[in-house]
Amino acid sequence: MLPKSSKGDLLLSATKKSIIDDTQQGVKVPPRGDLGGRLAILDIGTGSGCIAVALKKKFPNAEIYAVDVSTDALKVAKENAKLNDVEINFILDDILHPSFSYPKFNVIISNPPYILISEKKEMDKNVTAFEPGTALFIQDNDPLLFYRTIAKFSQKQLNPGGILYLETHRDYAEVCKTLLLKQGISNVEIRKDISGNDRMVRGFLENKCIKI
């Protein structure tokens, strides 16, 4: 797989482990009846495609969709998918102003921009060198813009019982949890990354999940 930043590595590790643990433990798998028995996963802001590729490798029968606003990012993601011999539905779209006609999903994943522009000077150059600014930084006056947008999007596009996974800034995990609860996402919990920092929130559209 082509190189990716440490930001991507953190979410890849956390997301892959969370989803695989959830399914292998038979905990919270969305019912598939409304989707014709298929498992459909959407990766919002796929970047290099590392998460989408890893999930397709783990769940080969799943339909994986990966969206990004950057044509350059999608080019890299497609190369990664080709290198790993997996088929993924790549979409060029802006989640803030979506124009694509999305199907329903069982799982939505996103690693949205959450680093404040004011924190840019503190960032490791190894991160900023590999990621475009649009993938990393958000205006200081609205750090939760993407979380509100994705939560509203998930209300429409998640199958009942569908799961939402979001990476967060460690300082905003609790705020993000509260936001999701207000947006109708239930059973929201915060998960830590490999360094012990609050890094991910996970929740369900409705409490109608089944075991596998």
What are the sequence ranges of the domains in the chain? 6-21+34-204
Kindly give the residue spans of alpha helices, DSSP state H, lying in the chain.
6-24, 50-58, 71-83, 125-128, 133-136, 145-157, 173-182
CATH H superfamily, domain 6-21+34-204: Vaccinia Virus protein VP39 (3.40.50.150)
Provide the β-strand partners of residue 84: none
- Give the pLDDT score at 209: 45
Highest mean pLDDT among 60-64, 128-132, 142-146: 60-64
Mean pLDDT of 56-60: 89
pTM recorded for the entire structure: 0.78
pLDDT at 21: 63
